[in-house]
Amino acid sequence: MIRVPFHLADPALEPIATKVLAGERLSRDDGLALYASHDLLGIGQMADHVRRRINGDRVHFMVNRHINPTNICENRCKFCAFSRSKGQDGAYEMTLEEIVRAAEECVPQGAHEVHIVGGLHPDWPFEFYVEMVRRLRQALPEHVIIQAFTAVEIEHYAKISGLSTLEVLRTLKEAGLQALPGGGAEIFSERARRLAWDKKTSADDWLRIHGEAHALGIKTNCTMLYGHIETLEERVDHLIRLREQQDASGGFLAFIPLAFHPLNTELSDLPPTTGYDDLKTLAIARLMLDNIPHIKAFWIMLGLKVAQLSVAFGVDDLDGTVVEERITHMAGAATPEALSKDELLALIRETGHTPVERDTLYNVVRVYEEA
């Protein structure tokens, strides 16, 4: 047996550590054992070892802008505090001109991405979204990448247009779409889906749509919403299904675990996630997802301190400047709605890692040396 260099307080982790050192794929039982263990620091050491093997000492970030064109949505999922029905107090919708103007505002700040997700509006036709992408592509410099529309939105566009999801993706790509965000996956559990988001895209369809995007050369991210009604077994199964999809189509760039925020949702009686669970979930993701290059800590959901600490638990990306995030803040997030580049650089430098500014596709914009 390979001598394990990690300081493990839980002997049950030693066989897993041996696999990690040998670069072997972890099994479902390994994933469950990791969640069953209370040796958070031991799990973190293993995840940090894998992170360094894949990404060295670099921690990525980006300058980007989030735009949520509307919160009017047909689905009204129980876990969502963002969505509204048409005419309801707090409902809003942006015009194409407002969307383009918001995107253009980020260019002087050095943005390399416009990130767009929103509700499933009952009246907007598919042509509205095609025109949105087309106008954005015409208005923005070439280096600003348009990452837009979750698989849930892509499925909605197929329904309202009569096209297949593949045809929808092809049309949007021709208009200028370059990448898909990873939202809408939630947990790949039909049990949880029936209870909390029964109208939303099924696991099979979500994975199929991302596979279709990959086949067209559209890179995507992937996510997991955790800390609500899911079981630990369902978390591990979710990670394995993502890993299997990556084996098949190979287009996932980053995995982003999304901590559930219960405030103002129909699941508001649930407690928020803890820093312990957040760090453990990030670390286990790094250990299980051996074929996805990047693990991202979305500071908006985790908070700045947990996100900063996460770089010792397998994370190599702290997302971006964001600007005017609405979805998580409407569910009670107490984090800022934006960070400056200097603030992100300081967060990373304090951990002793090398900050690397990137674009959506992980092309390096600039490597920052020590201050």
Query: For position 62, which CATH number holds?
Result: 3.20.20.70
Question: What are the distances in angstroms from CA 350 to CA 41, 200, 202, 315, 370?
Answer: 20, 40, 41, 15, 10
Res 317 pLDDT > 70: yes
Residue 105 lies in a domain: yes
pLDDT in tens, 122-154: 999 999 999 999 999 999 999 999 999 999 999
pLDDT grade, residue 303 (50/70/90)? confident
Number of domains in the chain: 1
Cα–Cα distance measured from residue 126 to residue 157, given in angstroms and rounded to the nearest whole number: 6
**Which domain does 265 fall in, by range?**
58-367
Cα–Cα distance measured from residue 36 to residue 51, given in angstroms and rounded to the nearest whole number: 22
Residue 168 lies in a domain: yes
Q: With contact defined as beta carbons under 8 Å apart, do 70 and 106 qualify? A: no
Give pLDDT, residue 334: 47
Residue 78 lies in a domain: yes
Cα–Cα distance measured from residue 255 to residue 239, given in angstroms and rounded to the nearest whole number: 9
Residue 150 lies in a domain: yes
Residue 32 lies in a domain: no
Mean pLDDT computed over 16-25: 97
pLDDT in tens, 83-136: 788 888 889 999 999 999 999 999 998 999 999 999 999 999 999 999 999 999
Give the Cβ contact number of residue 273 at 10 Å.
21
pLDDT in tens, 264-298: 677 778 888 999 999 999 999 999 999 999 999 98
Cα–Cα distance measured from residue 81 to residue 92, given in angstroms and rounded to the nearest whole number: 14
Residue 16 lies in a domain: no
Is pTM beyond 0.85? Reply is yes
pLDDT in tens, 46-83: 999 999 999 999 999 999 999 999 999 887 676 676 67
Residue 42 lies in a domain: no
Residue 275 lies in a domain: yes
